[in-house]
Every structure is written in structure tokens, then in C-alpha cells.
Chains A and B, each alone.
Chain A
Amino acid sequence: MNRNRTEIMQNVFLTYLPDRKFKTGYLSAQFITPLRKETASANALLPAVLHRGTMRCPDMEQLSAAMDRLYGAQIDYTVRKKGETQCVGFVASVIDDSFAPGGERLLEPVAELLGEFFLDPVTRNGRFLSEYVESEKTNLIDALRSVRNDKREYADLRLMQEMCAGEPYGVRRLGDEESARKLNNRTLYQRSQELMSSSRLELFYCGSAQRERVTDALLHAFAALPRSAAADIEPARFYDAPAQPRIITERMDVTQGKLSMGFRCQSRDVPAMIMANLIFGGSSNSKLFLNVREKLSLCYYASSQYARSKGILTVSSGIETKDYDRALEEILHQLKAVQQGDWEDWELTGARSVILSSLRAMNDSQSAMENWSVGQIATGQSETPEEMARQLNEVTPERICAAAESITLDTVYFLKGKEDA
């Protein structure tokens, strides 16, 4: 996708993907900034506050009215963690001009509104409105706390906090409650100025409009953006697993126990690691699914995820507390099998076709293309889905074993019921 990315202002890049098959046009504006404990909560709060109102549409009702008139244009704020960066901004989708019953142009007003969110928010005396900041702060804190509601997410989060304590990767996507509490309408406004002037802005468009029209609309919308040289984003650091894995057990009032495991992977052979993960636990045909779930009925779900930019692989599963030892043993046993190349041909073929198919299908979804492109850019990668597909096709069983060999257990986190032994 890189060939479609051009710098349209200093440190402002536009990724332009023309496509006529969608009913909608899709626009995104993202500031890319290092994920740090000190700034994560402020960065997460910022788009929520900006989303409350602009000078032209200063409250929710007027904003909604403006978007309703654009046939339900949707502008949502996004806060994403990609490797050790935080991507903060808005994504907008609006029906394609060709379906507007009145033949109106919809791209320009949506781009305009997008720009206003950043550059013309409601302020008073160089500060955001205290009312908006306080209410979004409450929402942010509620969101940070609500992770407890989803026990799977909670267990995976606790695993990351323990395993990557002290590393930027251990910082949550939305920061933490304590830092969030300290924010106010003055400090947040300062943070917004820093973020906008010192970080790279990545713009993205997919839809039927011509490149020139999109560029013009965005240049106009972001004309007032303060610009200075942005520091390069450093790639995430890889760490070794400790000699002895860390084991952490906590209790909560739950019916089903949650077992999450974190591994470090030193291998830099990304395509081979992706294949190893798919065979291990990354697909519905994986060893974890077929053995831990289907064959042994030990759990309802057991799957693995590989974070390439950080060299971390995680397993999450939901099990009965009494099955802890068996599940743990079985998961490690399946990993061993991958490391030893102990798989049938169909496992490799299946894994490969699943990933190739999903890479190809990416061109069928605007949000998937946007998310891929933001992820690539934020973590310093540059291959297109097509290039990645080509690399995956070349991976040999030997490379998969070699890559899998580097997967080493770092931390085990188990969340069990209060009543359980």
C-alpha cells in the first residue's frame, strides 16, 4: 500500500486507495505517537473530548444534526495500540455521493468536520471546556475499569501488565486510571498542542473520489495544522523470557477460569512465525482448537495471537479451575509439536490458505484496509498484503520449526473462581 502513500504537507501523509465497489467513502486521520505511561491517558482522553464539539457545532445535538444531514455520516474517535505506538484520531464513513438522493457532495463536508474536530474544538481562554473534559474523564475511567466485565479480556490484560511491566508494551491502550484522574482542561489542551505539532499525521482515504479531490479536501481541512519536525518512531524492543516462567494466580467471582500465557519469540522470521502461530492456535483448524477444545473438551476456547512488532505470542483459554494442570500441560505439549514439525500436511496447507484468503479479502473491507495500513505505518513496516502473501507462500516447514523453536514461555496468568481450591 506504500506506493499509494504520499506526503501532502510536512509530516502529513495521505494513503489513497481508489475503489468504486463500496457504498461508502472512508476517511481516517491518525496521529502516531510513542506509547508511554506519561502520555497514554491524555492521548486517549483527547479525541473523546474533541468529539464533543467544534466551534461551529459546539454540542452533541448540533454535531449529530450535522452528521444526520450528511445521511448519517459517522465520525468515530479511535485510540489504537500498534506495537509500542498509540494511534489517536478519527475515522469517518459517509455514503458515496452517487447514492445521495439530492446529488449532494458529501466528501468535502465530512473532511471539513474531521479537520474541525482537531483544529477548531470548543475552547474558552485557551482551554477545553471543563464540563466536556470532566465528563469524558469519567467515561475514560469507567472504560478502564470495565475491562473487569469481560473476564477473557481482563485475564489477557493482566498477563500483559505482568509480563511487560516496565516496557512500553505493558502500558494499556487507554493508559491508566491514576494518570487519567490528574488530567484537567488546561493540561489536556497543552497535550493536544504538543501531540498535533510534534507527531506525524497519517490520513487515509478509500472510495470512489479522485485523488485530487481527496487531497484538496484534506489540505483545506487541515490547512491550519501546526507543523514541526517529528521524531522518528523507534521500533519496539524484544526481550528474553526469564529462566523460570513467572506464574501468577488471582481470584474473582467467576464461573469459568481464564488461563492466559505469554511467550517471547526471538525469531525475526516474521512470515515463519505467522505460520507457526496459525498452526499452533491461530485458526479454527489449529492444534489448540482441535486438541484442547475438540479432542479433550478442556475448554470452550483456546487460541493464540502473535504480535509481530513486539515478538510476543499469547495464548488465551477459558477452562474449569480443576483442569488447570491438564490444560497447561496440553497447551505446552502442542507447542512442542509445532517446534518439532509434528503436523500433518493439511494443517500447514489449511493454515496457509486461511491467512492468504484473509489477506486477499482485505481489499473487500475499507476498515480492514485502513487498520492494516495504520498498523504497518505505525510499526515501521512497509509491505502490502500482496507482498505479505508472497512471503508466506515461500515459508518452508524447516523455517516454521526454526521460528517456533524461539518461542519461550515467559508468564502464566490464571484467573480462578473465589470458591475454587
Chain B
Amino acid sequence: MEKTVYARIGETVLWHTLPNGLPVCIVPRKDYERKYALFATRYGGMDLRFKLGEEWLDTPAGIAHYLEHKMFDTQEGNALQELATNGAEPNAFTSNAITVYYFDSTDCFMENLKILLQFVSVPYFTDESVAKEQGIISQEIGMIEDNPEWVVYRQLMEALYKNSPARVSVAGSVESISHITAQTLYDCHKAFYTPANMCLIVVGDVNEDEVLRLAQEVLPQESGAIIERDYGAEESLTPCTKEVRSAMEVSMPTFLAGFKCPDAPQGQERMRNNIIGDLACDVLMGDSSPLFARLYSEGLINGSFGSSYDLLPGVAYVYAGGDSNDPKAVVQAILNEAQRLLCEGIDEDYYQRVRRANFGTALKALNSFEAIAVSMAEGCFGDYDPYRFPEVYDSITCEDLLAFIRDNICESRMALSIIDPKEASECTQ
């Protein structure tokens, strides 16, 4: 395996691509009991329209997530059960861009890895089992529809985007998932669960040769085709709707403002762009910014306030939000602060300490196996090396942040999503 040592963060990483095209990454962790494996496919909630063979397929919203649920079914029963019997804690999630399956175990690691590789690569669905899952997923959808954080995000994405599938919920709707059949699931599996479109990440004290040998043995020999995807007609940088409001059972209003940004390039530039976006958010409105301190002491925001820059396939945006009794005042204050920074510049000393804190936070994240594995998988799919963050931090200047703020944090790019409390919502016996 190809070994890279990252002295500044005390890390070593091994990479190897199997003959079938699957990239395998091992992050050694000598003194840990835990071993962690993550098997990911570059296929998420946004991959609804794609070309299979000669034909363009339109698939129902929520299908990647549905497929994730059904993958645990095996001809023999259920992989979740098999793994749990070995003391492993298996789970999976589907995001906009990827689906991952992972487990955490202290014993029988190789045996568990074999189960993971097998159940993810061998689909087994019947019409009956697909129909049954609709009950469970409909309950899950019902549960998230009661979650104000989810609804405020959903509304924001619908306000920001006109064509991009980013506006569609990863889980789909009770209606959309009713169109899913065993056949559509097989089609999607065939298209996206191929060595060429996946990667395997292992974190822990494992024998690298054994891992490679097992993956080689269990997984298909064919690499699979590169699938063409369609993320909808190009988006303008103006949001589709300026403002969306609705009412729910919440104790105080909650809001999310979004600023549409241009799509970021692939490769190392993508990571640099990502860090610039996050640093710009921190300098402008992060926990240690003057704006945060002022809004907090004025009671306009509380500890729930947060902001970040998010990159999805084909689209990017900055979001900021939390609970507030006056969301509009908070948003106005953010816009004003952006203007102030553009006029007065960013204090160099302030910038240096925010960058220092960010570096510390990124380093701390390396305590988490999950965080390491997910960032490795994202780096693999996005063609960048996430462990190069110290060098990227070194290369970013105040000017980069000001340029980001100037380009993106302005009213014309902004949409606002608000959830108001329902009136008189006391419980009744």
C-alpha cells in the first residue's frame, strides 16, 4: 500500500486501489481497542436522474435512502443481526451525495468486515420486503416532518433552488417512495454500487494485507461503468423565493438564512474553497466573532446559533441560523457586519486567532473514527486529501475571506426560512 506520513498532525495513511478499481484506505490506530470500517458509495439523495446503459432513468425521490434500508436484507436474513451478534455496532446513513455503511467493533473485525462487504455488494430484495419497508420509512418521514430543524432546512433549500435536486428531501415523501419497486432498487444498485463508484475506509489497528485480500475475494471483479448524472438545469445565483414561513409546535421561532454560492471545483481546490467558506463564516459570525457576542448579549440569538458553508453536487451555499425571537434583525445584522468587514477589513490579529482555533478544532476531530472515515471517503470522491488541512490553513489570507464575503454574503443571494410557533399550543388532556 502507498504510505503517506503527515508529521504535523501525527498521522499515517495507507492507500491502495484494487484491480477492480476500488480504492481502499487504512488509517492505522495502534493503541485503540475499536476498529472501524466504512464502505461508501458516491450515490446520495440528489442522484435521481442518471444514465443506465443508453437510457436516462428518472427515479423517485428518496430512493437512495430506501435502498440503504433494504441493503441490510440478505438471502439468509438480516446483516444487522449478524453483525450485532458479533458485538459490532452497524449503521448506515444517506446524505445528499453519498451513502455509507459502517460498523464499529472490538472483536471479530475481519469476520464483520466480510459481512459488511457482502451485504453491501449483494442485493437481495423481494416485492414483499420492499412493500413492508414502506411502513417503516413512512414512520421515519413522519418523525422528521415533526422536527423543526429539518423543516426549516427543507424550506430553505426549496427557497434557494429551482432546478437542483438539493431541494428534494433525502428521505423523499410518503408519496414518492410509494413508487419504489424491487426492480428500481436493483437498477440503482447496479448503477452505483460498483467498485469504480465506491471506497472502503478502515480505521484501527488492523493487518493491511488481510483487509486487501478479503476485499479482493469478496467483491465483484468488474469495475463497473462510470455513471452520467443529471443535477438539473443550471441554477442562477438568485434564490428562487426570498422568504418562506410556516408554523409548527415549537417554543420560539427558529430560522435559517441561506446565501447561494457558485459551485466549487473538484480536487484540492475544493477543499481549499471549503475551508475558506468555513473560515469566512467564523470570522463573520462564528462563536468568537464580535457579531456573535453582540447579538448574544442583546438576546437576539442564543447558543443554538451556528453557521457554515456547505458544498453539494453542483451547488454550494452558506447557511446561518438558530432560535431567535427576531430572525429578521439577526439577518440584517449579518448583512451589515459583512459590509463593515468589507469597508474596514479584517483585523490581522483576530484573523490569526480564528485560524488557530480552526486548526485546533480540525485536529481534535481526528479523535473521532467516524469523522476520519467520512472525511477520507469524501476526499476520495472529491479527489482531494483531507489530511492536507494544515498546509491549506497556512495558505489562506484575510484577502481570500474578504473576497468570499464580498461575492456571496449579500442580500441578492439570500433566502430566509422561518418557523413560527403555533399559537395556543398547550397540551390538552
Contact B33 A285 (CB under 8 A): no
User: In this assembly, does B207 line the interface, its C-beta being within 8 Å of a C-beta of chain A?
Assistant: no
Interfacial chain A residues near B425, Cβ < 8 Å = 148, 252-253
Identity of the chain A residue whose Cβ is nearest the Cβ of B32 in the assembled complex: A364
User: In this assembly, does A303 line the interface, its C-beta being within 8 Å of a C-beta of chain B?
Assistant: no
Residue from the list A72, A149, A366 in contact with B358, Cβ < 8 A: A72
Known contacts A67-B357, A135-B299, A346-B85; A99/B139 CB under 8 A: no
Known contacts A99-B10, A139-B302, A297-B136; A148/B250 CB under 8 A: yes
- A300 vs B137: C-alpha distance when bound (angstroms): 7
Query: When each residue 368-391 of chain A gets 1 if its CB lies under 8 Å from chain B and 0 otherwise, what string results?
Result: 000000000000000000000000
Contact B89 A320 (CB under 8 A): no
Range for the number of chain B residues in contact with chain A:
35 or more
Contact A148 B251 (CB under 8 A): yes
Contact A95 B364 (CB under 8 A): yes
Identity of the chain B residue whose Cβ is nearest the Cβ of A19 in the assembled complex: B31
- A150 vs B150: C-alpha distance when bound (angstroms): 11
Range for the number of chain A residues in contact with chain B:
35 or more
Q: Which of B211-219, B265-273, B288-296, B312-320 interfaces with chain A?
A: B288-296
Interfacial chain B residues near A363, Cβ < 8 Å = 33
Known contacts A20-B31, A252-B425, A300-B136; A64/B146 CB under 8 A: no
Query: When each residue 121-158 of chain A gets 1 if its CB lies under 8 Å from chain B and 0 otherwise, what string results?
Result: 00000000001000100110010011011111000000
- A294 vs B129: C-alpha distance when bound (angstroms): 10
Contact A61 B360 (CB under 8 A): no
Contact B288 A353 (CB under 8 A): no
Contact B250 A149 (CB under 8 A): yes
Q: Which of B99-107, B117-125, B223-231, B332-340 interfaces with chain A?
A: B99-107
Contact B107 A357 (CB under 8 A): yes
Contact B293 A59 (CB under 8 A): yes
Query: When each residue 276-298 of chain B gets 1 if its CB lies under 8 Å from chain A and 0 otherwise, what string results?
Result: 00000000000110101100110
Taking A250-B428, A361-B106 as given, write out 10 further A-B residue pairs in contact, using a Cβ cutoff of 8 Å, ordered by the A residue number. Answer: A68-B353, A72-B356, A93-B364, A94-B360, A95-B364, A135-B297, A152-B143, A253-B425, A300-B143, A357-B88
Residue ranges of B at the interface with A (Cβ–Cβ < 8 Å): 8-10, 29-34, 78, 80-81, 84-91, 104-107, 132, 135-136, 139-140, 142-143, 145-148, 248-252, 254, 287-288, 290, 292-293, 296-297, 299, 302-303, 323, 353-354, 356-361, 363-364, 366-367, 422, 425, 427-429
The 11 sampled A-B contact pairs (Cβ below 8 Å) are A23-B363, A24-B367, A94-B360, A149-B251, A251-B428, A300-B140, A300-B142, A301-B143, A360-B34, A361-B33, A361-B106
Residue ranges of A at the interface with B (Cβ–Cβ < 8 Å): 19-24, 59-61, 64-65, 67-74, 93-95, 98-99, 101, 131, 135, 138-139, 142, 145-146, 148-152, 249-256, 283-285, 290, 293-294, 297-301, 318-320, 346, 349-350, 352-354, 356-358, 360-361, 363-366
